[in-house]
Structure 1
Amino acid sequence: MILILSYIIAFIGIYSLVLTTSNLLYFRSLSKHWEKHTSKELVTIAVPARNEE
């Protein structure tokens, strides 16, 4: 029983490590993509806040 529980915990740990690594690589590639654009090409969009009264 303890061995099965240890395998499950190890699997979750390895799986979370893989997800974290892949997410970091994905966000780094996104930031490199955005760095290629100049400020004249980027557009800022203002989103109005909701009034919840």
Structure 2
Amino acid sequence: MDNGLVQVVAHGVRDLVVRDVTITASRREIVDFSNLIFDNSLRIIIRKATS
């Protein structure tokens, strides 16, 4: 997955993304990730809180 989907969530174009995602330090600075749901790398990405 490229950072495009992370940016779409970060900028509010989408509320969340559900797909296999590699969690990196730079992505953690931009969005929040769910806890592990399945043992298949599926994560939910949501926009970070502003306050």
TM-score range, shorter chain: under 0.3
**Higher Cα radius of gyration:** 1
**TM score, norm. by length of structure 1:** 0.20
Q: Which of 1 and 2 has higher RCO (CA within 8 Å, sep 6+)? A: 2
**TM score, norm. by length of structure 2:** 0.21
Structure with more helix by fraction: 1
